Amino acid sequence: MGLFDRVFRGSDEMFAKAEAEVNAVVAELGENAPMKMPETAYYLACIYAYLGKKVETLGQLKETLADVKAMMTREYKTKDIFTSGVGTAVAAEMIEACKYARDPAPYASFNGKYHGHFTDAEVRTLGVPLVTRDIPGFVVMIGPAPSKEEALETVKGYQSRGIFVFLIGGIIDQLVECGMTMNFDVRVVPVGEDIWSVGHVISLVVRAAFIFGNVEPGDYAGFNRYTFDRIFAFVNAYKPVPDITVACGAGAIQMGFPVITNDTDDMWAVPKSLIINENTKDWIETSLEARDIKIKVTNIDIPVAFSNAFEGEIIRRGDMQIEVDGSRVDCCEFCRTVDAKDIEDHAIILDGPDIDEFPVGSKISMTFTVEVAGKNWQTDFEPVVERKFHNFVNCIEGVMHTGQRDMIRIRVSKAAFDAGFRAKHIGEVLYGKVKGDYDAVVDKCQVRICTRPEGCTEVRAMANETFRARDARLKTMTDESVDVFYTCILCQAFSPSHVCIVTPERLGLCGAVSWLDAKATNELDPNGPCQIVPKTHCTDERLGAYDDVNEAVNKYSHGALERVTLYSIMEDPMTSCGCFECICGIEPMSNGVVITNREHAGMTPLGMSFSEMASMTGGGVQTPGFMGHGKQFIASKKFLKAEGGLARIVWLPKALKDEMADRINESAKELYGIDDFVSMIADETVTTDMEELYNYLTEVGHPVLEMEPLM
């Protein structure tokens, strides 16, 4: 039996399973029953992507069976096995969809053992780490591995390299037995028990193409081109590999994802696509080479692993050795410029007792001060580097960090402590990352760590003086007070025509790039993603329209964009890449705007969730009436300046409203003389209904009701 026959047999097997499951659920629930995957605006994403069909009822799902069967052609040509392979993946999605038709949370009874469907919000959280290459690629591991020990070693190997790991089948049980933590936050996801759960992975992949690449529904070649060019993924399939898995592998190869296996039974190697390697312990290097993934190795002398895969790790109280808590005791993290003669490069100076000198479970004071010198270093870089401390410390296995400045919280796990982790190792991480990531401007660096309570009080007081001075300067920094803006095209790795214009009063829409960040990035890499945009030719101050900005977006979008305004949602608004923190859209009854954020899963008064609103924009297109943006931009005096400013805001999710309340109130007081403006903004505890929202705005006397119509 040849490879072609194995693919065709596997496709037939997956289709037969899909047909049986669809017919059974239709018989049970009826053709008019709704068919919806949770928290997505992309219907059944694989069907929507490859066939261009919106499936909203079980009857429509049943009708789609014929289209999927038509993909499974049977001529002995390469094109046929690839198309059959993609059809197999679509059939897999249909099988899983039947579970969600019966129960919106079919995997809940497994108590977290299996993840199942990925929400749009989860897909969007991958945007920034993918473009920054914090996640250099994905692996789908189909098991079981030869042993549970090897399964653990291989998955941890991928994890330490930043590779996002999806698990299917017996390898999940092996890792459960080893006690490994698996969830989306640590980037090791147990997707499902059966091979058809691969449909969830392909759904995530095609939604990335929808969200970031603006690929149109039904563009079969466009999706395959996007995944090949921009999604760096591969498959590890342990023997024995049944026909149904071989057929899924053909689909993976069509998408540009090579398959590595140790199965030699009726298997034929295809260079760079189907790789047979019987030494499974070599699979990591084999896989990375096959997908041409280059890993930047950070060698830091600490006794635990260091990888961005650990950024989402949660340390529970029962697993905690010690805790640093800035809300209870004096703590802070601080970057400080000093003269080169006062620094001993790579000195880690501990002032006070080490971690092993405190009782288990202690809450301790701790400050760490990173002292930096360099001939190209500027004090403006201090807060830029300081904000990265959160990411640096969180990459340590067994260490959790939240907060910033003097409100930090750090937990060190018992497992990390038992491995030998001590205070100096925080210093090693900070030194290694600051010196390595900022080598263009940092010539010398040393780290001071203090655990003496009285010493921490002194350091915190000194740091707060600096923080206050910085804040005062930033408050005076406006779009008018600087001579240049900056581009940010980091996201073009996934959203080819998107260009952010970053100004002092409008940070990047992902929330991660401020004007100072962009300035520092340009200094560090003059040919990199953040390029200088002069602002000498303003054509409309109200809109924030500049000839220089238009030239920049036209150049860096490769001609896809001609004009962008910085302060309008209606006239040539800035494009969105898909990884924005928030999205706002016009609410027509009040002529205001509704804003929601990625963390809010509920509905808005527009009758749309975040995912549905976000599907209206993204992928580098301009959509007047909808705009992606960062959280902090909400309180900016330039937010919707052309349409009257933040007085247009009529609804926010409560958590976001509470987080931004002080800054919104401050700006509203300065702009309109309104006290406690936030109390006039509705949230989900008030209403998610458009008419009720209008009544509420009337009741509280919201200023939007006196403003000019938007349309």
Contact assessment for residue 415 and residue 345, using Cβ atoms and an 8 Å cutoff: no
Residue 15 · residue 68 · CB < 8 Å: yes
User: What is the distance, to the nearest Å, from the Cα of residue 415 to the centroid of all Cα atoms in its chain?
Assistant: 28
- The answer to whether the CB of 370 falls within 8 A of the CB of 445 is yes
CA atoms within 13 A on the CB side of 489: 21
Residue ending a domain, among 255, 290, 325, is 290
Asked whether the CA dihedral 57, 116, 5, 16 is positive or negative, the reply is negative
Nearest to 365 by CA among 317, 322, 319: 322
Partners of 629 in the β-ladder: 582
Bridge partners of 450? Answer: 351, 367
Asked if residue 301 belongs to a domain, the reply is no
Backbone angles phi, psi at 101, to 5 degrees: -65, -35
Residues 533, 632, single domain; the answer is yes
Cis upstream peptide for 240 (omega within 30°): yes
Tell me, yes or no, whether 23 lies in a domain: yes
Pairing assessment for the beta strands 484-488 and 500-502 based on DSSP bridges = antiparallel
Mean pLDDT by 10-residue block, N- to C-terminus, for the chain (711 residues)?
A: 89 98 98 96 97 98 98 90 97 98 95 95 86 88 97 95 96 96 94 98 96 92 94 96 97 97 92 95 96 82 91 91 91 95 96 97 96 93 90 94 90 97 97 92 96 96 92 86 93 83 91 86 86 93 95 91 94 87 94 94 93 81 89 94 97 96 96 97 97 97 94 77
Helices 198-213 and 78-102, interaxial angle, to 10°? 100
Is residue 495 within 8 Å of residue 520, measured between CB atoms?
no
Q: Is residue 167 part of a domain?
A: yes
Q: Please check whether residues 561 and 420 belong to one and the same domain.
A: no
d(CA 213, CA 222): 10
**Whether residues 142 and 204 fall in one domain:** yes
Q: Is residue 523 domain-resident?
A: yes
| 342 in the same domain as 257 | no
Query: Would you say the C-alpha torsion 664, 670, 672, 673 has a positive or negative sign?
Result: positive
**Same-domain status, 266 and 384:** no
The answer to whether 123 touches 207, Cβ cutoff 8 Å, is yes
Are residue 324 and residue 240 in the same domain, yes or no? no
Residue 2: φ, ψ to 5° = -90, 175
How many domains does the chain contain in total? 3
Q: What is the pLDDT of residue 297?
A: 66
Residue 593 · residue 652 · CB < 8 Å: no
Q: Tell me how crowded residue 324 is: count the other CB atoms within 10 A of its CB.
A: 27
Question: In this structure, what CATH number is given to the domain that contains residue 162?
Answer: 3.40.50.2030
Q: Is the peptide bond before 144 cis (omega within 30 degrees of 0)?
A: yes
Identify the CA nearest to 213 among candidates 131, 294, 273.
131
For residue 470, is it within any domain? no
**Statement to judge: residues 398 and 530 lie in one domain:** no
Q: Are residues 369 and 490 in the same domain?
A: no
One domain for residues 649 and 693: yes
- Name the DSSP letter for residue 304: S
Contacts of residue 368, Cβ cutoff 8 Å, sequence gap at least 6: 333, 334, 389, 426, 427, 430, 447, 448, 449, 450
Q: Can you give the residue range of the structural domain that contains 445?
A: 308-461
357 and 391 both lie in a single domain = yes
Residue 297, domain member (yes or no): no
Please report, to the nearest 10 degrees, the dihedral formed by the alpha carbons of residues 79, 143, 226, 126 taken in order: 170
Interatomic CA distance for residues 51 and 68, integer angstroms: 8
What DSSP string describes 290-302?
HTTPPP-------
Q: Which of 290, 318, 352 is the last residue of a domain?
A: 290
Residues 217-230 have pLDDT tens digits of 999 999 999 999 99
Q: Which of 374, 321, 377, 309 is nearest to 343 (CA)?
A: 374
Is residue 423 in a domain? yes
119 in any annotated domain? yes
Cβ-Cβ contacts under 8 Å for 83 (sequence gap 6 or more)? 71, 72, 73, 254
Same domain flag for 58 and 159: yes
pLDDT for 368-411, tens place per residue?
A: 999 999 999 999 899 889 988 998 999 999 999 988 888 899 99
* 74 neighbors 95 (Cβ within 8 angstroms): no
Which CATH number does the domain housing residue 404 bear? 3.30.1650.10
Which residue shows structure tokens 């009726």? 266
The CA distance from 287 to 278, in Å, is 13
488, 502 contact by CB (below 8 A): yes
Domain end marker among 395, 427, 461? 461
Distances (CA, A) of 306 to 184, 398, 579: 18, 10, 25
pLDDT at residue number 440: 87
Same domain, 54 and 188: yes
